[in-house]
Structure formats: C-alpha cells, structure tokens
Amino acid sequence: MKYVLDTCVLSDYVRRVGRVAEKMHAQPPHDLALTVITEHEMLYGLALRPVPKLAQQVRRLLSTLAVLPFDRAAAATSADLRADLARAGKPIGDFDALIAGVALAHKLTLVTSNTKEFERVRGLELTNWR
C-alpha cells in the first residue's frame, strides 16, 4: 500500500473532478486504501442525501478499496499531532486529525485536495490528484 485517499478525493472521483479518476486508475488497486473515518464520512453524506444512483456508485467504489482501521497506533499518532497543532495555535479538524494519524501510523502518502489543512502536519506526505 502506498496511498490513503481522503474524503475529498473520493468525492472528486465520484463527481469526475480534475484528474482524480485518471490517477486512481493508474495505480495498482493494492496501492490504494481509505481510512474507516473516510468511509464513515462518505456513508454519512449518503445518509444525508439518499440518492439511489449516487449511493450505488459510492458503495461500489468503497467496496473496491482496502479500509484501514483507526487503531491504537493511529490514536496515539493523531493525539500527538493534534496536541502539537493546538499548542502552535493551528488546530486541525477532528476527522482530519484522525485521517492524518492513520496515514502517519501506516507511513502512507495522503492523497487530498485539502492540502491547506494537512500541510501543517509534520512528517505527513501529501499529494493532490485534483
């Protein structure tokens, strides 16, 4: 595994924004994963806006990707990074801290178009496929 996909990237894929679909299809499937937090965010979006065609498309996409759990290593990593950013006066969103914690714990590159939020996380490799 090389990449963990952020929620905005999966939304971009579904909506055909930028070069996200092209970049995702260029990767071997075993190199792509998402976090259980991202899966939650995608399913929450569907619960808020239950459009059958969209739901089918999102569920199909989710079923093709490995899901990384939020485990103890991710919990410790995200707690430390969140505290560091809070002390520096640059707090990060709760879900973003959890996603970054999983990416760091697994030593994966985070694919996101929300680089402004994540670039503050020390040691986190980022790429933007949009």
Spatial CA neighbour of 113 closest among 49, 19, 1, 2: 19
Q: Which helix (H) or strand (E) holds 127?
A: strand 126-127
pLDDT bucket at 107, cuts 50 / 70 / 90: very high
Spatial CA neighbour of 111 closest among 23, 15, 14: 23
pLDDT bucket at 64, cuts 50 / 70 / 90: very high
CA atoms within 13 A on the CB side of 43: 10
Site of tokens 């995608």: 42
Distance separating alpha carbons of residues 46 and 58, to the nearest angstrom: 8
Span 44-59, average pLDDT: 94
Strands (E), 45-118: 66-68, 109-111
Residue 130 near residue 18, CB atoms below 8 Å: yes
- Its pTM stands at 0.94
**Domain span at residue 79?**
3-127
CATH code (residue 81):
3.40.50.1010
Structural domains in the chain (count) = 1
What does the mean pLDDT of the chain come to? 96
